[in-house]
């Protein structure tokens, strides 16, 4: 497993690899959550119902849309680590 800081360069690299969301497995209120990149084939971020760049919650798990995370990273508005399997 590889861990990388949640920053602009890492997020751009993930987007180029085809990832489009980041999902936490831990508690949603963690100050420094661990995110897992995922690819959703039928997901289109321009069609998603967004909350102005805020995290989305599903069953207590935080979900970040990758395009929104990239924009927020420009303002250093994100905390966390990304776990990669390779």
d(Cα 6, Cα 83) in Å, to the nearest integer? Answer: 10
Output the six-digit token pair for 83.
């776990």
Q: pLDDT (tens digit, 9 = 90+) per residue, 14-59?
A: 999 999 999 987 665 678 889 999 998 865 554 454 445 455 656 6
Tokens standing for residue 84:
């990669």
Domain ranges of the chain: 2-40+53-84
Give the residue with greater pLDDT, 45 vs 1.
1
pLDDT digits (tens, 9 = 90+) for 49-64: 444 545 565 666 788 8
Instruction: Give pLDDT, residue 50.
Output: 47
């Amino acid at each position: 497993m590889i861990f990388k800081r949640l920053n602009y360069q890492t997020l751009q690299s993930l987007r180029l690899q085809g990832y489009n969301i980041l999902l936490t497995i831990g508690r949603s209120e963690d100050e420094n959550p661990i995110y897992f990149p995922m690819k959703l084939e039928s997901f289109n971020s321009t069609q998603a119902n967004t909350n102005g760049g805020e995290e989305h919650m599903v069953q207590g798990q935080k979900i970040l849309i990758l395009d929104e995370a990239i924009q927020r990273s420009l303002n250093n508005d994100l905390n966390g680590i990304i776990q990669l399997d390779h």
